[in-house]
Protein backbone atom coordinates (compact mmCIF):
# COMPACT_ATOMS: atom_id res chain seq x y z
CA UNK A 1 0.00 0.00 0.00
CA UNK A 2 1.36 3.41 -0.87
CA UNK A 3 1.76 6.22 1.65
CA UNK A 4 -0.87 8.23 -0.25
CA UNK A 5 -3.39 5.35 0.00
CA UNK A 6 -2.77 4.98 3.73
CA UNK A 7 -3.23 8.73 4.18
CA UNK A 8 -6.52 8.63 2.25
CA UNK A 9 -7.83 5.82 4.42
CA UNK A 10 -6.91 7.71 7.56
CA UNK A 11 -8.93 10.64 6.22
CA UNK A 12 -11.99 8.42 5.86
CA UNK A 13 -11.70 7.22 9.46
CA UNK A 14 -11.20 10.81 10.57
CA UNK A 15 -14.35 11.86 8.73
CA UNK A 16 -16.27 8.98 10.31
CA UNK A 17 -15.02 10.15 13.70
CA UNK A 18 -16.14 13.71 13.00
CA UNK A 19 -19.63 12.57 12.09
CA UNK A 20 -19.68 10.34 15.17
CA UNK A 21 -18.93 13.41 17.31
CA UNK A 22 -22.01 15.06 15.82
CA UNK A 23 -24.07 11.98 16.64
CA UNK A 24 -22.83 11.87 20.21
CA UNK A 25 -23.48 15.61 20.44
CA UNK A 26 -27.14 15.02 19.58
CA UNK A 27 -27.18 16.06 15.90
CA UNK A 28 -28.43 12.79 14.46
CA UNK A 29 -29.64 14.34 11.22
CA UNK A 30 -26.31 15.95 10.34
CA UNK A 31 -24.44 12.80 11.38
CA UNK A 32 -26.76 10.73 9.17
CA UNK A 33 -26.16 13.14 6.27
CA UNK A 34 -22.39 12.93 6.65
CA UNK A 35 -22.40 9.16 7.05
CA UNK A 36 -24.60 8.93 3.95
CA UNK A 37 -22.20 11.07 1.93
CA UNK A 38 -19.28 8.94 3.06
CA UNK A 39 -21.15 5.74 2.20
CA UNK A 40 -21.74 7.12 -1.31
CA UNK A 41 -18.01 7.69 -1.65
CA UNK A 42 -16.78 4.33 -0.35
CA UNK A 43 -19.68 2.21 -1.63
CA UNK A 44 -20.75 -1.38 -1.02
CA UNK A 45 -17.38 -2.73 -2.18
CA UNK A 46 -15.12 -0.27 -0.38
CA UNK A 47 -12.62 -0.98 2.35
CA UNK A 48 -14.22 -3.40 4.84
CA UNK A 49 -12.93 -1.42 7.83
CA UNK A 50 -14.55 1.74 6.52
CA UNK A 51 -17.79 -0.04 5.66
CA UNK A 52 -18.00 -1.84 9.01
CA UNK A 53 -17.30 1.28 11.03
CA UNK A 54 -19.55 3.52 8.98
CA UNK A 55 -22.48 1.09 8.85
CA UNK A 56 -22.18 0.40 12.58
CA UNK A 57 -22.58 4.09 13.39
CA UNK A 58 -25.05 4.83 10.58
CA UNK A 59 -27.41 2.32 12.20
CA UNK A 60 -27.52 4.52 15.29
CA UNK A 61 -28.83 7.45 13.25
CA UNK A 62 -31.87 5.64 11.89
CA UNK A 63 -35.42 6.41 12.96
CA UNK A 64 -36.94 3.25 11.47
CA UNK A 65 -35.94 -0.04 13.17
CA UNK A 66 -35.92 -1.82 9.79
CA UNK A 67 -33.41 0.71 8.46
CA UNK A 68 -31.33 0.30 11.60
CA UNK A 69 -31.32 -3.46 11.04
CA UNK A 70 -30.23 -3.03 7.42
CA UNK A 71 -27.23 -0.93 8.48
CA UNK A 72 -26.29 -3.33 11.27
CA UNK A 73 -26.41 -6.21 8.78
CA UNK A 74 -24.09 -4.23 6.50
CA UNK A 75 -21.68 -3.75 9.42
CA UNK A 76 -21.67 -7.49 10.15
CA UNK A 77 -21.13 -8.33 6.49
CA UNK A 78 -18.21 -5.91 6.28
CA UNK A 79 -16.66 -7.36 9.45
CA UNK A 80 -16.80 -10.79 7.84
CA UNK A 81 -14.59 -9.42 5.05
CA UNK A 82 -12.18 -7.56 7.31
CA UNK A 83 -8.72 -9.03 7.69
CA UNK A 84 -6.55 -8.80 10.79
CA UNK A 85 -3.85 -7.23 8.63
CA UNK A 86 -6.12 -4.41 7.49
CA UNK A 87 -7.32 -3.77 11.01
CA UNK A 88 -3.72 -3.71 12.29
CA UNK A 89 -2.97 -0.93 9.79
CA UNK A 90 -5.57 1.16 11.58
CA UNK A 91 -4.88 0.10 15.16
CA UNK A 92 -2.28 -2.47 16.16
CA UNK A 93 -4.09 -3.79 19.24
CA UNK A 94 -7.55 -4.40 17.76
CA UNK A 95 -8.75 -7.83 16.67
CA UNK A 96 -11.62 -8.47 14.28
CA UNK A 97 -13.10 -11.11 16.60
CA UNK A 98 -13.62 -8.39 19.23
CA UNK A 99 -16.09 -6.65 16.89
CA UNK A 100 -18.57 -9.54 16.89
CA UNK A 101 -20.05 -9.29 20.39
CA UNK A 102 -21.17 -5.70 19.75
CA UNK A 103 -22.31 -6.38 16.20
CA UNK A 104 -24.47 -9.34 17.25
CA UNK A 105 -25.77 -7.46 20.28
CA UNK A 106 -26.91 -4.62 18.02
CA UNK A 107 -28.64 -7.09 15.71
CA UNK A 108 -30.37 -8.75 18.66
CA UNK A 109 -31.65 -5.35 19.81
CA UNK A 110 -32.84 -4.55 16.28
CA UNK A 111 -34.81 -7.78 16.08
CA UNK A 112 -36.35 -7.12 19.49
CA UNK A 113 -37.56 -3.72 18.21
CA UNK A 114 -39.01 -5.45 15.16
CA UNK A 115 -40.78 -8.02 17.37
CA UNK A 116 -38.79 -10.92 15.96
CA UNK A 117 -37.79 -12.75 19.16
CA UNK A 118 -36.40 -15.87 17.48
CA UNK A 119 -33.94 -13.85 15.38
CA UNK A 120 -33.14 -11.72 18.43
CA UNK A 121 -32.33 -14.87 20.42
CA UNK A 122 -29.97 -16.17 17.72
CA UNK A 123 -27.94 -12.97 17.73
CA UNK A 124 -28.03 -12.56 21.49
CA UNK A 125 -26.65 -16.10 21.83
CA UNK A 126 -23.92 -15.26 19.30
CA UNK A 127 -23.09 -12.06 21.16
CA UNK A 128 -22.85 -13.93 24.45
CA UNK A 129 -20.66 -16.66 22.93
CA UNK A 130 -18.31 -14.06 21.45
CA UNK A 131 -17.83 -12.07 24.67
CA UNK A 132 -14.97 -14.36 25.64
CA UNK A 133 -12.85 -12.50 23.09
CA UNK A 134 -13.27 -9.23 24.99
CA UNK A 135 -10.80 -7.90 27.51
CA UNK A 136 -11.68 -7.35 31.13
CA UNK A 137 -11.88 -3.60 30.68
CA UNK A 138 -14.51 -0.90 30.42
CA UNK A 139 -15.50 -1.78 26.86
CA UNK A 140 -15.62 -5.53 27.40
CA UNK A 141 -17.47 -5.22 30.68
CA UNK A 142 -19.92 -2.77 29.09
CA UNK A 143 -20.73 -5.19 26.27
CA UNK A 144 -21.16 -8.08 28.71
CA UNK A 145 -23.47 -5.95 30.87
CA UNK A 146 -25.49 -4.93 27.80
CA UNK A 147 -25.89 -8.60 26.83
CA UNK A 148 -27.19 -9.31 30.35
CA UNK A 149 -29.61 -6.35 30.22
CA UNK A 150 -31.04 -7.41 26.88
CA UNK A 151 -31.32 -11.00 28.09
CA UNK A 152 -33.26 -9.82 31.15
CA UNK A 153 -35.52 -7.60 29.08
CA UNK A 154 -36.28 -10.42 26.68
CA UNK A 155 -37.00 -12.83 29.54
CA UNK A 156 -39.20 -10.28 31.32
CA UNK A 157 -41.21 -9.45 28.25
CA UNK A 158 -41.55 -12.94 26.76
CA UNK A 159 -45.03 -13.30 25.34
CA UNK A 160 -46.18 -9.81 26.23
CA UNK A 161 -45.51 -7.92 23.03
CA UNK A 162 -42.77 -5.52 22.01
CA UNK A 163 -40.07 -4.40 24.41
CA UNK A 164 -40.27 -0.79 25.54
CA UNK A 165 -37.43 1.69 25.19
CA UNK A 166 -34.33 2.14 23.12
CA UNK A 167 -31.37 -0.19 23.42
CA UNK A 168 -28.18 1.82 24.07
pLDDT, residue 158, reads 61
Residue that wins the pLDDT comparison between 35 and 156: 35
The stretch 33-41 carries a mean pLDDT of 97
What tens digit of pLDDT does each residue of 17-30 get? 999 999 999 999 99
- Residues 80-126 have pLDDT tens digits of 999 889 988 888 778 889 999 999 999 999 999 999 999 999 999 99
Closest CA relative to residue 79, chosen from 50, 58, 115: 50
Average pLDDT, integer, range 76-80: 96
pLDDT over 60 (residue 162): no
Mean pLDDT within 145-163: 78
| Higher per-residue pLDDT: 68 or 90 | 68
**How much is the average pLDDT of 4-32?**
85
Q: How would you class 69 by CB atoms within 10 Å of its CB: exposed for 0-12, middle for 13-18, buried for 19 or more?
A: buried
Amino acid sequence: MTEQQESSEDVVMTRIGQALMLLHGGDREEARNRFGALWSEIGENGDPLHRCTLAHYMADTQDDPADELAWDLRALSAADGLSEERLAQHHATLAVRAFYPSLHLNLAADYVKLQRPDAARVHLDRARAATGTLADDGYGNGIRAAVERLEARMAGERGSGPLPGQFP
